[in-house]
Amino acid sequence: MKEQLTEQKKIEHFKYLQVSPRDKSWGLAVTTAGFQHVHPGETYPLSSHPDGYNFPENKRRVLNEYQLVYITRGSGYFESASCSRTRIEEGMMFMLFPGEWHTFAPDPATGWDDHWVGFNGSFIDEKISNGFFTFKNCVFRVGIDERIINTYHEILDIISDERKGFQQMVAGLTLSLIGRVYYEDINHSIGDSYIMRIIKQAKVIMKEDMSGNKSLESIANSLGISYSLFRRDFKKNCGISPGQYRLELKLAKAKELLYSTNLSIAEISNILYFENIGQFSTFFKKKVGVPPLEFRKRASKML
């Protein structure tokens, strides 16, 4: 049994990389990637790692890079300076941020399989500053996704060979992984939830009420939700506020009427319930870059 356990401990594969200035100039560079299968009762982590990566005795580690850690079997916990202790189960992923302490480990009763990739660069810095990922929202429910697992293994295979240009290749795979994590997490989180049904109903109401006679507050009230909560969740899930969405509807309708009808600018302005032609023209030019008549001329030439 002891010999068998010794063999089991070898189910791990990881690589740490030196990153050159040229690699950094690509916008994202991979620093490490790995996989390990931790059996129930095994000490975690399985092996020692380079200085700066090992967990200290207090189990609170600080890295100078980002990491995405994906759990595909078993369960455990994760905690960081910004994220309270969270139970982690298979199909979940968590992001580590540079300069912030974190700790995590599998449940001794279950062990776990974990995949990780570490990276740095201006690309991910920009996505963090734009709020796509945050220190507090760093645990994702992406489910067991074979495509994500394959991406981790492909990254590990490529960096193991270290052929010329491998950093740029794995950077592309990592960008794909980051995008898929964002996509899968949003869709797992939203699903067909109550708030998404509210948002869908609100969109239908706004499309039918092109005049804008119904205030956004009254729409929210008719759907049984406070306007502040409605506005917050609408923007969170759609990327724009309800007011901006309503303006985009008007813009799309204006383009359709200019492109497919012979209605005058005044008539279109009235249909879309602008106060006057001047207000409509100013709105349209600000959004499109050219006045309505110029847009119509250009559109007609494309027919």
Tens-place pLDDT, residues 114-163: 999 999 999 999 999 998 999 988 999 888 888 899 899 999 999 988 88
Chain segment 16-64, per-residue pLDDT in tens = 999 999 999 999 999 999 999 999 999 888 887 888 898 887 789 999 9
What is the pLDDT at residue 9?
A: 46
- Identify the residue whose tokens are 């931790």: 38
Residue 82 in 3-state DSSP?
A: coil
Is the pTM here over 0.75, yes or no?
no
Least confident window among 7-11, 108-112, 170-174, 228-232: 7-11
Question: Cα–Cα distances in Å, from 123 out to 16, 29, 166?
Answer: 21, 10, 18
What is the pLDDT at residue 303?
A: 54
pLDDT level of residue 193 (50, 70, 90 thresholds): low
Mean pLDDT over each residue of the chain, to the nearest integer: 88
Q: Which of 115, 85, 90, 125 is nearest to 101 (CA)?
A: 85
What is the rounded CA–CA span in Å between residue 230 and residue 199?
Answer: 8
Kindly tell me if the per-residue pLDDT of 4 is higher than 60.
Answer: no
Share of the chain above pLDDT 70, in %: 93
Residue 21, preceding peptide bond in cis (omega within 30° of 0) = no
Q: b or e along 212-248 (b: 16 or more beta carbons within 10 Å of the residue's beta carbon)?
A: beeebeebbeeeebeeeebbebbeeeeeeebeebbee
Q: Give the other-Cβ count within 10 Å of 74's Cβ.
A: 20
What is the rounded CA–CA span in Å between residue 100 and residue 78?
Answer: 13
Chain segment 200-242, per-residue pLDDT in tens = 889 888 888 877 778 899 999 998 899 998 999 888 878 889 9
What is the rounded CA–CA span in Å between residue 187 and residue 99?
Answer: 29
> Token pair of 154, please?
């492909």
Kindly tell me if the per-residue pLDDT of 186 is higher than 90.
Answer: no
Helices (H), the chain: 2-8, 21-25, 122-129, 146-161, 166-190, 194-208, 216-222, 227-238, 242-260, 265-271, 277-288, 292-301
8 A C-beta contact, residue 139 and residue 93: yes
What is the pLDDT at residue 289?
A: 93
Kindly tell me if the per-residue pLDDT of 1 is higher than 50.
Answer: no
What is the pLDDT at residue 111?
A: 94
Residue 78 in 3-state DSSP?
A: strand
What is the rounded CA–CA span in Å between residue 220 and residue 197?
Answer: 12
> Token pair of 141, please?
């429910």
| CA angle in degrees (0–180, nearest 5) for 131-204-200 | 45
Kindly tell me if the per-residue pLDDT of 2 is higher than 80.
Answer: no
Kindly tell me if the per-residue pLDDT of 99 is higher than 90.
Answer: yes
What is the pLDDT at residue 191?
A: 47
Q: Which of 230, 200, 232 is nearest to 218 (CA)?
A: 230
- Run of H or E including 30: strand 29-38
What is the rounded CA–CA span in Å between residue 151 and residue 93?
Answer: 14
